[in-house]
Structure 1
Amino acid sequence: MKLVIPGTLPTMNEIINISKRSKYAYRDLKEYYDNVVAWHAKAQHIAPVERANFIITWVCPDRLHNKDNIAAGIKFIFDGLQKAGILSNDGWKEIADFSHRFEVDKTNPRIEIEILEAS
């Protein structure tokens, strides 16, 4: 299965900066992006899995951010998949493994998430 999320997710630096704004800023940011991921998962009819490997391809609009900074968005991905009922949890039992890939597409930034059932 492949889930595609158009656009980008907040980078680690953006998350840190937003967290400094107010007591509830990170909570609101996280809820918003968890919901974005959940909505796309439901709209794309992603089936629930008990345990899976994930290949996450971050298709960025440019090379301005470091890869580790970009990959911080994985938190929104796994929590959004839980919210959508795709994953029951995001622990060791449910997430067998994950890997990151990075590409650039100035006109169509997105996150492509391959979900491969694991035993």
Structure 2
Amino acid sequence: MKFIIPGRLDGLNEYTKACRGNAYGGNAAKKRNQKIVKEAIQQAVKEGRLAPVEIYPIQLRIQWFEKNRRRDIDNIVFAKKFIQDALVEAGILEDDTQRHINQCHDLVFVDKDNPRIEVELAEESRGKKGEQ
């Protein structure tokens, strides 16, 4: 199962700045980013490309397509927190604990004309729901 988030999400630097800006800045940034992710999830569900996960644990494979090479990789991939929380909030995942997601793979590329984030949820071949 796969879905695509157009554009980019806030990185760690933007999130940290929002947290330091005022008492509610971090929460507002988290909600804003999760809303972007949830819209992409809802579109994929509508198109039949995404459904609630039934077999756990899963792997998350995320390809980050940035418009340039200015942001550090660790800054970019921080946004997986927003992705995981939105997947739970949208009902695609029961939870984002290690029992539910046991691997995350990140690859970062440059696509100046089409920045995006491609998220794939892949079943882990070893476990089933409730095991481990």
* Distance in structure 1 (CA, Å) of the matches to 2:32 and 2:93: 18
Counterpart contact for 1:35–1:83, Cα < 8 Å: no
**Alignment TM-score, normalising by the size of structure 1:** 0.95
**What's 1:19 paired with?**
19
Indicate whether 1:33 and 2:33 are aligned: yes
Q: Larger Cα Rg: Structure 1 or Structure 2?
A: 2
TM-score normalised over the length of structure 2? 0.86
User: Matched residue of 2:78: which SS?
Assistant: helix
Paired letter, 1:98: C
Q: In the TM superposition, what whole-angstrom CA distance separates every residue of 1:53-99 from its partner, at most 9, and x where no partner exists?
A: 11100000000011011010000000010111001110011102111
1:37 alignment partner AA? V
Question: Percent identity, aligned pairs only?
Answer: 35
**Long gaps (5+) in structure 2:** 128-132
The runs of at least 4 consecutive aligned structure 1 residues that moved more than 4 Å come to: none
How far is 1:18 from its partner?
1.1
**Structure 1: distance between partners of 2:2 and 2:35:** 18
- Aligned residue-pair number: 119
Q: 2:67 is matched with which residue: 58, 61, 64?
A: 61
Q: Does 1:98 align with 2:104?
A: yes
Instruction: Give the 3-state SS of the residue equivalent to 1:20 in structure 2.
Output: helix
Question: Which of the numbers 52, 62, 67 marks the counterpart of 1:48?
Answer: 52
Q: C-alpha root-mean-square deviation of aligned residues, in Å? A: 0.9
